[in-house]
Amino acid sequence: MANPIYNRKDRASVNTLRLLAVDMVETAKSGHPGLPLGASPLLYVLWTRFLRRDPGCPNWPNRDRFILSPGHGSALLYALLCVCGYGLTINDLKEFRRLGSKTPGHPERDVTPGVEATTGPLGHGFAMGVGLAMGERAMGERFNRPDFPLFDHFVYGLVSDGDLMEGVVAEAASLAGTLALGKLIYLYDDNHMTIEGATDLAFAEDVRARFLAYGWQVIVVADGEDLVSLHLAIENAKANLEKPSLIICRTILGAGSPKANTPKAHGEPLGPEALAKTREFYGYGDKPPYFIDERVANNFTDRVKAFEPYRLKWEETLSLYQTAYPEEAQELNRRLAQKLPDLGPSLDFPAGAMATRVASGLALNDLAKKLPEIIGGSADLGPSNKTELTGLGSFLPLTPAGRNVHFGVREEAMGAAVNGLALYGGLRPYGATFLSFVDFLRPAIRLAALMRLKSIFILTHDSLGVGEDGPTHQPVEQLASLRIIPNLTVLRPADAFETAALWPVALKIDGPVAFILSRQDLPVLRPEEYPAVLTGPAKGGYVLADPEAEPQAIIIATGSEVSLALAVQKLLAGQKRIRVVSLPSWEIFAAQSQSYRDEVLPPGLTKRLSVEAGLSFGWERYVGQNGQSVSVEEFGRAGQAAAVFAEFGFTPEKVAARLLGLFA
């Protein structure tokens, strides 16, 4: 194989990217010039010689994906999107970091065409890319047929030392190695410089040896300016389909600027003087800002154009596929369009008691049979979370059709990989752990919420009911911690029927969802006695049980505390007329009409008691100033669940006393 040829036109193109990026930072008076100056050669080679994408069709399903994990290098990405024809104009570049522009400070998926994922919190780009590569494999395994390689692309990314220091990257890299994700290729912008100084102040490890230990292929490019070596490295990475590849590229932070190789080059404009010197260094000393040589402009256009046939060929393949495999094609179209088929009737549950985690597992398994797009797993708690898809196999290198992902004890990478799977298209991913450990994946949930990804998080063992495992495992503040995340829908069903009713609701929500489920058995609310249990949950909150005459007080409860509320209603039946409202989702209830909400919680009925085994924080909005909350305001304690509940006041007698207190 002859070496690839790179010439002066290529060099000029690389330098144009550099200068566009630093010009943007200068205009914005804010941003990060150091990364673009150092890493432009890496992305130039990748974007002009390898990245099979089509600016005219930026969401083509079989495109190569590209993730800029160090999102602070956004100026370089925007410069690329501009010269490659993704619809960003020079004017857009001049609006860099301005309110309402198409070029925000960090890449945002919904704002800029060609941006695959919102990045900025270090490590998550890397880890979402692992999810994208899992998506490629899962979709390819389901839909590819001989001569019909519908899903057959690579996932590329740029990653930084900041990414590689983050724990989520360690988790994701180990997972990618275990899964042998050979289509994943990351270029490491190894510039030996961090904000506090030389990288080895804090990061003395041997990155190459570490990634080899994870089961990756590692390729070293000694000089990040060497376009031919970069090209050959990417070729070698592509050739190894058995292992993910890390290409370590030695670069210089702020290369070509007077601040090169110092932390000062990282995160602030160069300033007019240093910028002038940088422009001179790259041979454009006599040119104005945002200058693009015609030859350079044409070079980008030509190079990008050369990838178009891949998309056209794919469209042709898809068209033939529709004839050859009509059923698969139909399923593919449905899944890519995010349409749900008829899900059939909800599950029935016998009278008795069942943990909502168990009911959720039954509902999930039922849905997974009808929806082949469902894929997911747990952070090594599958048997406890009840998230195992029976009979659907494990998603492993030798069994890529399996739909149970073993994420390992890696909650944060699980969250990020679920986000990557959701970004991929055609899949409905979920991830599970104990509610108490949701703190570990919070950064992933925030990104899911920011992008409104349809990621589903299943969080079991949701309260003091965890019992013996004690305060480290008993959630107290976690429910509130999720309710406060914008765009996230939190669901805490009261029993098996509510759980089954909420699963289809969850699948239809345009954003991430968190199921909050009990470890312990809860009484099954049979529809004969509680007809509202079938239709009420979809409204987020509803009247579960009313007294015969007009109610004098309301108990508002969620999850396991709903049956406690019913017990109190019965206990006080002779004394007080109590309405029991089940409020499985604050977000869905808040989205109902004012009149519906007033029907459930009549403004005049101010004697209200919330009962939830978690903080009262935020409950004021439902109980009002005359109401009260039965809640948990401190960390829990180890003990048998019943004893712990009693200790914190969660018995019918104690709650009844609190309710009667409202009348005192």
Pick out residues in 219-278 that bind a second copy (CB under 8 A): 263
Of 166, 373, 411, 561, which is the active-site residue?
Answer: 411
DSSP annotation of 513 reads E
608 Cα distance to chain centroid: 37
Q: Does 54 bind a second copy (CB under 8 A)?
A: no
- Give DSSP secondary structure letters for 276-338: HHHHHHTT-TTS-TT---HHHHHHHHHHHHTTHHHHHHHHHHHHHHHHH-HHHHHHHHHHHTT
How far apart CA 10 and CA 549 sit, in angstroms, is 82
Query: 324 or 643, CB closer to a second copy?
Result: 643
Q: Does 408 bind a second copy (CB under 8 A)?
A: yes
Question: What's the min distance (Å) between Cβ of 513 and a second copy?
Answer: 17
Map 148-177 to HEC letters: ECCCCCCEEEEEEHHHHHCHHHHHHHHHHH
Structure token digits, residue 365: 């398994």
How far apart CA 583 and CA 562 sit, in angstroms, is 9
Query: 192 or 287, CB closer to a second copy?
Result: 192
- In three-state secondary structure terms, 35 is helix
Assign residue 341 a region (left: φ > 0; alpha: ψ between -120 and 50; beta: otherwise): beta
How far apart CA 550 and CA 497 sit, in angstroms, is 27
How far apart CA 65 and CA 128 sit, in angstroms, is 11
Considering only 162, 376, 426, 559, the residue that binds a second copy (CB under 8 A) is 162
Considering only 178, 236, 240, 338, the residue that binds a second copy (CB under 8 A) is 178
Q: Does 403 bind a second copy (CB under 8 A)?
A: no
Question: What's the min distance (Å) between Cβ of 175 and a second copy?
Answer: 7
8 Å CB contact between 625 and 645: no
How far apart CA 41 and CA 231 sit, in angstroms, is 10
- In three-state secondary structure terms, 489 is strand
CA angle 165, 166, 170 (to 5 degrees): 90
Contact segment (CB under 8 A) with a second copy among 129-137, 193-201, 592-600, 656-664 equals: 193-201
Considering only 56, 197, 326, 391, the residue that binds a second copy (CB under 8 A) is 197
Query: 327 or 634, CB closer to a second copy?
Result: 634
Q: Does 470 bind a second copy (CB under 8 A)?
A: yes
Q: Does 207 bind a second copy (CB under 8 A)?
A: yes
Considering only 75, 84, 155, 170, the residue that binds a second copy (CB under 8 A) is 170
Question: What's the min distance (Å) between Cβ of 367 and a second copy?
Answer: 21
Q: Does 398 bind a second copy (CB under 8 A)?
A: no
Q: Does 342 bind a second copy (CB under 8 A)?
A: no
Site for a second copy in 60-89 (CB under 8 A): 71-72
Query: 62 or 74, CB closer to a second copy?
Result: 74
- Give DSSP secondary structure letters for 191-233: -SEETTEEGGGT--S-HHHHHHHTT-EEEEES-TT-HHHHHHH
Q: Does 585 bind a second copy (CB under 8 A)?
A: no
Considering only 315, 468, 510, 653, the residue that binds a second copy (CB under 8 A) is 468
Q: Does 119 bind a second copy (CB under 8 A)?
A: yes
Q: Does 196 bind a second copy (CB under 8 A)?
A: yes
8 Å CB contact between 448 and 423: no
Considering only 60, 148, 203, 325, the residue that binds a second copy (CB under 8 A) is 203
DSSP run (H or E) holding 633: none
Query: 71 or 256, CB closer to a second copy?
Result: 71
8 Å CB contact between 79 and 36: yes
Question: What's the min distance (Å) between Cβ of 624 and a second copy?
Answer: 6
Looking up tokens 């839909």 gives 143
8 Å CB contact between 92 and 78: yes
Site for a second copy in 353-372 (CB under 8 A): none
Contact segment (CB under 8 A) with a second copy among 52-60, 94-102, 287-295, 305-313 equals: 94-102
- In three-state secondary structure terms, 569 is helix
Q: Does 383 bind a second copy (CB under 8 A)?
A: yes
Considering only 89, 91, 319, 472, the residue that binds a second copy (CB under 8 A) is 472
Do β-strands 542-545 and 578-582 pair in parallel, antiparallel, or remain unpaired? antiparallel
Contact segment (CB under 8 A) with a second copy among 315-323, 526-534, 561-569, 636-644 equals: 636-644
Contact segment (CB under 8 A) with a second copy among 245-253, 357-365, 376-384, 558-566 equals: 376-384
Under rule CB under 8 A, how many of the chain's residues touch a second copy?
113
The answer to whether residue 561 is catalytic is no
Q: Does 442 bind a second copy (CB under 8 A)?
A: yes
Query: 61 or 467, CB closer to a second copy?
Result: 467
Question: What's the min distance (Å) between Cβ of 121 and a second copy?
Answer: 6
8 Å CB contact between 467 and 640: yes
Do β-strands 374-378 and 245-250 pair in parallel, antiparallel, or remain unpaired? unpaired
- In three-state secondary structure terms, 396 is strand
The CA–CA distances, whole Å, from 572 to 543, 555, 565 equal 18, 12, 11
Contact segment (CB under 8 A) with a second copy among 228-236, 288-296, 402-410, 558-566 equals: 402-410
> Residue 145: what are its φ and ψ, rounded to 5°?
-135, 160
Considering only 1, 2, 5, 201, the residue that binds a second copy (CB under 8 A) is 201
Question: Can you say whether the dihedral through the CA atoms of 328, 333, 335, 341 is positive or negative?
Answer: negative
Question: What's the min distance (Å) between Cβ of 446 and a second copy?
Answer: 6
Site map (CB under 8 A) of a second copy, residues 411-430, x = contact = xxx-----------------
Site map (CB under 8 A) of a second copy, residues 594-623, x = contact = ---------------------x-xx-xx--
Considering only 10, 31, 45, 426, the residue that binds a second copy (CB under 8 A) is 31
Q: Does 480 bind a second copy (CB under 8 A)?
A: yes
Q: Which residues are catalytic?
A: 411
